[in-house]
C-alpha cells in the first residue's frame, strides 16, 4: 500500500486527506498526464515507475527494492537523498518566511547570502548574481544580457549566438534554439533566429591529431564568416553532458577565450551540470583555467531539493546594466525568482559542500571510480572509450573497437545495459550506447564499488550474451 491524497475530496473543495491507495490506482491516476522527455504512450500503456523513498545514495521503489542512484537523479542530487542539514534549513525557512518577491526592490536573507556566497566562490570578476528557477531560465537571462551588453555600448547588430553541436541548454525557446540536439526541436520549429553551431571537440571520434585547435579555428572562421559585428556570445557546456560527457583537450577553451576576446564575443559557460563540484573542481571551466563572462548554474546548486538556477555575470556586463541609466528598471524575473526557501536550500547545500570538502572528494572518488572501470573493462571488445572528470563519467560502447563503428540502433545495447544495471540495483543513464554516471558527491567508496561492479558486469555480460546472439 502507498499513500496519496484523495482527488475526489480535492474536487469537492475540501481539504484533501491522506488516504490509503494501492499502487495501481496511483499509476492509473498518472496515465493521462505527460512526463518530461518521456514517451507519452509509455506512460499511458505501461505507467511510470514510482519511487517512494530516498536516503543517502539510495532510492527505494514501491516494492521496497533499493537502488543506488548512480546518476544523482538528473545529476543534481549531489548530497544524496534526505540530507538532514538541507532539510532542516528548508523547514526553518518555511517557518520563518515562505515567500516574498524579489521584485520592487524587496530582499530576503537567504537570497542575499547565497548570492554573496556564489560570488565568493566564482572566478575573479564574476561578482553579480540573479536567481532563476531552472537552468533553462538561467540561460535565457544570459542571452538577454548578452544582447543588452552590446546594445547599450552601441553595438546594436551584435545579436547572434554561437553554440556547440550536441549541447543541451534547456527546454525554453531560446535555450532550445541554442541546443544542438535536433530531436529535441522536432515539431517545435521554427527555432529562434540567430543561433549558429560549431563542433565540440570529440577526442574519441576525431581522426585529427589536434581536434581542440581544429574546433577553435572552426569557431573563429564561423565568427568571421557571419561577421564579428553580428555575434553577441558563444555559449558552451564545459563538458558536454547529454552527448556523453565529452571532455575537450587542454588547448581548446584557452583558444576559445582568446578568440572571443579578439572579436568582443561574450563567453557564456553553462555550468548547470558541471558546477558545484561535479567534475572535481567547483566549476567545470576551471579545469582549463578559463574565466567566462557569464556563468549559469542550477541542478547541484540546491542538490535538487528545491528548484533554483542562477546567472552569474562579470563586472563588465554588470556595468552595462548600470550604464542604461538610474531610472532603468531591469525588465527580467519571474514571480518565484530568488525564492527564500529555494535559496535557503542553496545556502545549506553550499555550506555542506564546503564543510565536507566535497569538491576534493569528487576529484578523488571520481579517479577511484574511473580507475576501477578501466581495470574491469579495458579488455572488453565493446568498450570503445572510458572517460570522466570528478564524479562524472561515461563509457562508450561500440560494435568494433578498431573502426569505432557504432551498434545498429535496433540492437538497443544501451537499453540492455540500463536494464541489467537496474536488475543489479544501480540506476544509470544511457543515451544511445553511451552509459553515463554522476554519483552523489557524498558516496562512499563501498557505494562506488557497488556501482562499478554492477555496471561493469552489465557491460561484460554483453560480450557473452546479447551482442553475440543478435
How far CA 119 is from CA of 68, 128, 190, 318, in Å, comes to 33, 6, 37, 13
- CB closer to ligand PLP out of 345 and 458: 345
Instruction: With CA atoms as reference, report the closest residue to 317 among 210, 231, 233.
Output: 233
Based on the shown chain and the rule CB under 6 A, indicate whether residue 241 belongs to the binding site for ligand PLP: yes
Write down the least CB distance from residue 6 to ligand PLP, Å. 31
Window of 47-55, 111-119, 153-161, 267-275 that interacts with ligand PLP by CB under 6 A: 267-275
Residue numbers 68-87 binding ligand PLP by CB under 6 A: 74
- CB closer to ligand PLP out of 170 and 277: 170
Residue with cell 542575499: 112
Window of 155-163, 266-274, 319-327, 404-412 that interacts with ligand PLP by CB under 6 A: 266-274
Q: Tell me how long the chain is.
A: 470
- CB closer to ligand PLP out of 139 and 421: 139
H or E segment and range at residue 322: helix 315-323
How far CA 50 is from CA of 135, 422, 462, in Å, comes to 25, 14, 28
**CB-based closest residue to ligand PLP:** 135
CA geometry: angle at 265 spanning 189 and 138, to 5°?
55
Window of 106-114, 130-138, 184-192, 199-207 that interacts with ligand PLP by CB under 6 A: 130-138
Window of 19-27, 162-170, 186-194, 420-428 that interacts with ligand PLP by CB under 6 A: 162-170
How far, in Å, CA of 306 to CA of 304, rounded? 5
What residue spans of 97-250 are helical by DSSP H? 109-121, 135-151, 173-178, 211-226
How far CA 412 is from CA of 265, 404, 408, 416, 437, in Å, comes to 41, 17, 8, 6, 18
Judged by CB under 6 A, the residue of 215, 259, 273, 448 near ligand PLP is: 273
H or E segment and range at residue 53: strand 51-55
Judged by CB under 6 A, the residue of 140, 202, 220, 270 near ligand PLP is: 270
How far CA 204 is from CA of 370, 405, 447, in Å, comes to 16, 12, 29
Write down the least CB distance from residue 20 to ligand PLP, Å. 34
Window of 65-73, 129-137, 280-288, 323-331 that interacts with ligand PLP by CB under 6 A: 129-137
Write down the least CB distance from residue 295 to ligand PLP, Å. 11
Please, which residues have CB within 8 angstroms of residue 138's CB and are 6 or more apart in sequence? 132, 272, 296, 297, 298, 309, 310, 311
Judged by CB under 6 A, the residue of 69, 140, 220, 237 near ligand PLP is: 237
Based on the shown chain and the rule CB under 6 A, indicate whether residue 164 belongs to the binding site for ligand PLP: no
How far, in Å, CA of 52 to CA of 170, rounded? 27
Write down the least CB distance from residue 306 to ligand PLP, Å. 12
Window of 96-104, 128-136, 225-233, 373-381 that interacts with ligand PLP by CB under 6 A: 128-136
Write down the least CB distance from residue 73 to ligand PLP, Å. 11
Copy the grid coordinates of residue 112.
542575499
Based on the shown chain and the rule CB under 6 A, indicate whether residue 169 belongs to the binding site for ligand PLP: yes
Copy the grid coordinates of residue 177.
534554439
- CB closer to ligand PLP out of 86 and 377: 86
Residues 131-150: x where in contact with ligand PLP by CB under 6 A, - otherwise, as a string? ---xxx--x-----------
Based on the shown chain and the rule CB under 6 A, indicate whether residue 272 belongs to the binding site for ligand PLP: yes
Write down the least CB distance from residue 428 to ligand PLP, Å. 16
How far, in Å, CA of 183 to CA of 185, rounded? 5
Q: Are 307 and 287 in contact (CB under 8 A)?
A: no
What is the number of other CB atoms lying within 10 angstroms of the CB of residue 438?
Answer: 31
Interacting residues with ligand PLP (CB under 6 A)? 74, 134-136, 139, 168-170, 237, 241, 270, 272-273, 298
Amino acid at each position: 500500500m502507498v499513500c496519496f491524497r484523495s482527488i475526489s475530496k480535492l474536487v469537492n473543495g475540501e481539504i484533501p486527506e491522506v488516504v490509503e491507495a494501492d499502487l495501481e490506482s496511483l499509476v492509473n491516476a498518472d496515465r493521462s498526464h505527460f512526463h518530461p522527455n518521456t514517451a507519452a504512450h509509455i506512460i499511458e500503456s505501461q505507467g511510470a515507475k514510482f519511487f517512494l523513498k530516498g536516503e543517502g545514495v539510495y532510492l527505494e521503489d514501491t516494492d521496497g527494492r533499493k537502488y543506488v542512484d548512480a546518476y544523482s537523479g538528473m545529476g543534481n542530487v549531489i548530497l544524496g537523498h534526505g540530507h538532514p542539514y538541507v532539510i532542516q534549513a528548508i523547514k526553518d525557512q518555511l517557518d520563518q518566511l515562505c515567500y516574498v518577491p524579489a521584485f520592487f526592490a524587496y530582499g530576503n536573507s537567504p537570497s542575499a547570502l547565497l548570492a554573496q556566497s556564489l560570488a565568493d566562490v566564482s572566478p575573479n570578476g564574476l561578482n553579480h548574481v540573479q536567481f532563476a528557477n531552472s537552468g533553462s531560465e538561467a540561460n535565457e537571462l544570459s542571452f538577454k544580457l548578452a544582447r543588452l551588453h552590446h546594445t547599450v555600448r552601441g553595438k546594436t547588430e551584435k545579436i547572434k549566438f554561437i553554440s556547440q553541436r550536441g549541447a543541451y541548454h534547456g527546454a525554453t525557446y531560446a535555450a532550445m534554439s541554442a541546443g544542438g540536439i535536433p530531436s529535441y526541436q522536432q515539431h517545435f520549429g521554427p527555432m529562434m533566429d540567430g543561433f549558429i553551431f560549431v563542433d565540440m571537440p570529440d577526442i574519441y571520434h576525431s581522426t585529427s591529431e589536434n581536434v581542440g585547435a581544429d574546433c577553435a579555428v572552426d569557431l573563429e572562421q564561423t565568427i568571421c564568416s557571419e561577421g564579428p559585428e553580428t555575434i553577441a556570445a558563444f555559449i558552451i557546456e564545459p563538458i558536454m553532458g547529454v552527448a556523453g560527457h565529452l571532455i575537450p583537450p587542454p588547448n581548446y577553451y584557452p583558444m576559445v577565450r582568446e578568440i572571443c576576446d579578439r572579436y568582443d564575443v561574450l563567453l557564456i559557460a553553462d555550468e548547470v551540470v558541471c558546477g558545484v563540484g561535479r567534475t572535481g573542481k567547483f566549476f567545470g571551466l576551471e579545469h582549463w583555467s578559463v574565466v567566462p563572462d557569464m556563468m549559469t548554474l542550477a541542478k547541484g546548486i540546491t542538490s535538487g531539493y528545491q528548484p533554483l538556477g542562477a546567472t552569474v555575470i562579470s563586472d563588465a556586463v554588470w556595468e552595462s546594466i548600470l550604464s542604461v541609466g538610474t531610472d532603468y528598471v531591469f525588465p527580467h524575473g519571474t514571480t518565484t525568482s530568488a525564492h527564500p526557501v529555494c535559496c535557503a536550500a542553496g545556502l545549506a547545500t553550499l555550506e555542506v559542500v564546503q564543510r565536507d570538502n566535497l569538491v576534493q572528494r569528487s576529484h578523488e572518488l571520481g579517479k577511484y571510480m574511473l580507475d576501477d572501470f578501466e581495470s574491469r573493462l579495458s579488455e572488453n571488445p565493446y568498450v570503445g572509450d572510458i572517460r570522466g572528470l570528478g564524479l562524472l563519467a561515461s563509457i562508450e560502447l561500440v560494435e568494433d573497437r578498431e573502426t569505432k563503428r557504432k551498434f545498429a540502433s535496433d540492437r538497443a545495447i544501451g537499453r540492455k545495459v540500463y536494464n541489467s544495471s537496474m536488475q543489479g540495483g544501480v540506476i544509470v543513464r544511457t543515451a544511445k550506447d553511451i552509459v553515463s554516471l554522476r554519483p552523489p558527491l557524498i558516496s562512499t567508496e563501498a557505494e562506488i564499488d557497488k556501482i562499478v561492479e554492477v555496471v561493469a558486469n552489465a557491460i561484460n555480460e554483453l560480450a557473452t550474451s546479447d551482442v553475440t546472439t543478435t
